[in-house]
Amino acid sequence: MAITIKNEQDIEKMRIAGRLASEVLDYIEPFVKPGVTTEELDRLCHDYMVNVQGCIPAPLNYAPPGHAPYPKSICTSINQQVCHGVPSDRVLKNGDIVNLDITTIKDGYHGDTSRMFCVGTPSIQAKRLCDITFECMWRGIAQVRPGATLGDIGHAIQKYAESSGYSVVREFCGHGIGKKFHEDPQVLHYGKPGTGLKLQEGMIFTIEPMINAGKRDIRQMGDGWTIVTKDRSLSAQWEHTVLVTADGYEVMTLSAGCQPPPANLR
């Protein structure tokens, strides 16, 4: 699959899809409280996307090769779940951390973003993992400009994660995005500076590091979707969709409820 370079019309539609995806996270935040089930969060997000925003939730029935169609409209990954957690009747409890991953389709274009939420009061360790993973994502984003390489992004993320005592999941990566949910290139969250694809103005891809408190190894659960850490350590993830501009980057998945980037990267 070739990398698509987006033109001004594509970019304007990606801005809209991206903002809408982020606004779903703004909308759901007050509902992420002890006692709620992930199925309830899924239903609320689904209804908001479909009935309020006029969007299609991209995950619903999404069926990449080797997978049964995904049965829900969002991903909800709790504690040691790394990604692709399937909403269920599981009740969130005080101290849980949960990633909510939203992908909207608006006017044929995709916006993909995820955030960590602390349910009630998190442990100091869980909060630190969420905060450092957020900074990993932003350190990756800060590398983006024409002429930089995918290896520069991966290296920035890996260096900060590992120097903080954490590990980077290898099996899942960021991805090109546009009219398709997952396009080329693959955006690895580890690597060496100056290696890999050179970035060009008009590329759009996600940066979505999955960082484990323990070892990097993962396994898939029996549902065929949910990914967990093999050593049952906590895992966190944040995701933005990013455009390469003439002199740097533009984050497509921003909205009023986004946390500002870490002060050292602003």
Q: By the criterion CB under 5 A, which residues form the site for Co ion?
A: 101, 112, 206, 239
Rule CB under 6 A: is residue 84 a binding residue for ligand MF3? Answer: yes
User: Of these partners, ligand MF3, Co ion, none, which one is at the site of residue 183 (CB under 5 to 8 Å by kind)?
Assistant: none
Rule CB under 6 A: is residue 112 a binding residue for ligand MF3? Answer: yes
> Which residue from 225, 255, 194 is spatially nearest to 28, judged by alpha carbons?
255
Shortest CB 61 distance to Co ion, Å: 16
Shortest CB 70 distance to ligand MF3, Å: 3
Q: CA-to-CA distance for 25 and 34, rounded, in angstroms?
A: 17
**Residue from 207, 208, 241, 251 that binds ligand MF3 (CB under 6 A)?**
208
Rule CB under 6 A: is residue 178 a binding residue for ligand MF3? Answer: no
User: Of these partners, Co ion, ligand MF3, none, which one is at the site of residue 70 (CB under 5 to 8 Å by kind)?
Assistant: ligand MF3
Contacts of 8 (CB under 8 A, 6+ apart): none
User: Of these partners, Co ion, ligand MF3, none, which one is at the site of residue 59 (CB under 5 to 8 Å by kind)?
Assistant: ligand MF3
Tokens describing residue 66: 């080797």
Handedness of CA 248, 12, 43, 30 (dihedral sign): positive
Q: CA-to-CA distance for 67 and 51, rounded, in angstroms?
A: 28
Q: CA-to-CA distance for 14 and 178, rounded, in angstroms?
A: 7
Q: CA-to-CA distance for 45 and 151, rounded, in angstroms?
A: 35
Shortest CB 208 distance to ligand MF3, Å: 5
Torsion of CA 58, 251, 96, 73, to 10 degrees: -10
Of 89-108, binders to ligand MF3 (CB under 6 A) are 101, 103
Give 10 or 208: the residue with its C-beta nearer to ligand MF3.
Answer: 208
User: Per residue, what are the HEC states of 173-197?
Assistant: CEEECCCCCCEEEEECCCCCCCCCC
User: Of these partners, ligand MF3, Co ion, none, which one is at the site of residue 140 (CB under 5 to 8 Å by kind)?
Assistant: none
Give 59 or 202: the residue with its C-beta nearer to ligand MF3.
Answer: 59
What is the full DSSP assignment across 183-245? EEEEE-SS--TT-SPBP-TT-EEEE--EEESS-S-EEE-TTSS-EEETT---EEE-BEEEEE-
Amino acid identity at 155: H
Shortest CB 256 distance to ligand MF3, Å: 22
Rule CB under 6 A: is residue 62 a binding residue for ligand MF3? Answer: yes
Rule CB under 6 A: is residue 239 a binding residue for ligand MF3? Answer: yes
**Residue from 70, 117, 190, 249 that binds ligand MF3 (CB under 6 A)?**
70
Residues making contact with ligand MF3 (CB under 6 A):
59, 62, 70, 75, 84, 101, 103, 112, 206, 208, 225, 239
